[in-house]
Amino acid sequence: MITGGYMRYLKLGIPVLMIMVLFIGCPKKQVVQPVEEPVIEEVPEEVIVPEEPERPPFEMGRIFFDFDKSDIRADAAETLKKNAAMLELYPTVNITIEGHCCEIGTAEYNLALGERRAKTAYEYLVMLGVDPARLATVSYGEERPLDPTDLPQNRRCEFRRR
């Protein structure tokens, strides 16, 4: 049994002990100072859409052949390179290659020669990287002369948009 003297200290000691536990056991409250963050203003940038380079008007040059030949001449090779470059600038354009002949020879022979000329031009364009699906060939033989009085002008291939 606890006597009167100890009881008095016990009654006083319990509240003191409780206060001490509260102050000692609880950490001090930290004060957080607000940090000013720099204000970043978003400036809307101008959206610059690159302009499509100006394309020249679509134009395909004709090529000419020697008499009774379907071989590509040097001047025709240069024209075909320009035609391939034009087709590269216009990727949605499809063309028909028309083979023509002068009036010397039979109609059947000239149709076959015109077809050989058109096929030769076709193969050269494909070799230069043109998609074959964009090309078609047709032979008109001697039926559509460019100039009936100038036979070398009629030995040609024309390139038409389809």
Q: Which domain holds residue 141?
A: 63-161
Read off the pLDDT band of 29 (50, 70, 90): low
Nearest to 99 by CA among 87, 82, 85, 112: 112
CA distance 22 to 10: 18
Total tally of structural domains belonging to the chain? 1
* pLDDT per residue as tens digits for the range 80-123: 999 999 999 999 999 999 999 999 999 999 999 999 999 999 99
- Residue pair 77/128 in contact (Cβ under 8 Å)? The answer is no
Q: Domain containing 104 — which CATH number?
A: 3.30.1330.60
pTM value? 0.67
Instruction: Give domain status of residue 143, yes or no.
Output: yes
Q: Answer whether residue 10 shows pLDDT above 70.
A: no
Q: Identify the pLDDT of residue 39.
A: 72
